[in-house]
Chains A and B, each alone.
Chain A
């Protein structure tokens, strides 16, 4: 049973560019959350998607946007990249019946130069 799959695993972008990260949730999960983990820090909640809508949002600027597809997969988009956006981006999937049963992916390491 595949867990959470994220792609790509690594990428390098230039300041000002735009990036799209992808996440496929664990089978049976319909809720996807995204977290940003800067080097040496704990993950910070970006937003959560359920039924193709953003349900919760953390303290991140509008440059961060997302989308959830009918098959529950999700994308995280970041526009106008800043050096400070360099981080590990983690996707976590869950289901309302799972009782905080989050499954995390291995993440996408984004480096902005």
Chain B
């Protein structure tokens, strides 16, 4: 069965420090992978997605993620965190057999940014 695991429920980093949020997936074929961000009381905003090709993908707000098939991972990174990055981050996998299939989300990682 498809699944997504985000091992870190809560992460705190200092403003200006680098960030890496971990995501591991389980999927039989090449997955479609996504990172979303959710601010309190808001819906989900897409940060970036991976379908195929270059395994390092760039997203909005200075985020990037690297797909590593051998590790079944799709970790999100940012070189320098801003206070406005504090939010909930979700990794998701989509069915590659369809481009409108359901998304399976991880539990999420809450990011706190210290001044």
Q: Is the CB of A100 within 8 A of B42?
A: no
* In the complex with contacts A41-B108, A104-B44, A98-B101 CB distance below 8 A: no
- Which one of A44, A50, A100, A102 has the greatest number of beta carbons of chain B within 10 Å? A100
Interface residues of B in 20-36 (CB under 8 A from A): 32, 34, 36
Contacts of B102 in A (CB 8 A): 33, 45, 48, 56, 58
**Which A-chain residue is minimally distant from B104 (CB atoms)?**
A45
Query: A56: which B residues are within 8 A, CB to CB?
Result: 101-102
Given A92-B44, A105-B43, 15 other A-B contacts at CB below 8 A?
A42-B90, A42-B107, A42-B108, A43-B90, A43-B105, A48-B102, A56-B101, A96-B99, A99-B99, A100-B49, A100-B51, A100-B94, A102-B103, A104-B44, A106-B43
**Can you list 29 A-B contacts with CB-CB less than 8 angstroms, sorted by A residue number?**
A31-B100, A33-B102, A41-B107, A41-B108, A42-B92, A42-B107, A43-B44, A43-B103, A43-B105, A44-B105, A45-B103, A45-B104, A48-B102, A56-B102, A58-B102, A90-B44, A95-B100, A96-B100, A99-B51, A100-B32, A100-B34, A100-B49, A100-B99, A100-B101, A102-B103, A104-B43, A104-B44, A106-B41, A106-B42
Instruction: List A residues at the B interface (Cβ < 8 Å).
Output: 4, 31, 33, 35, 40-45, 48, 50, 56, 58, 90, 92, 94-96, 98-100, 102, 104-107
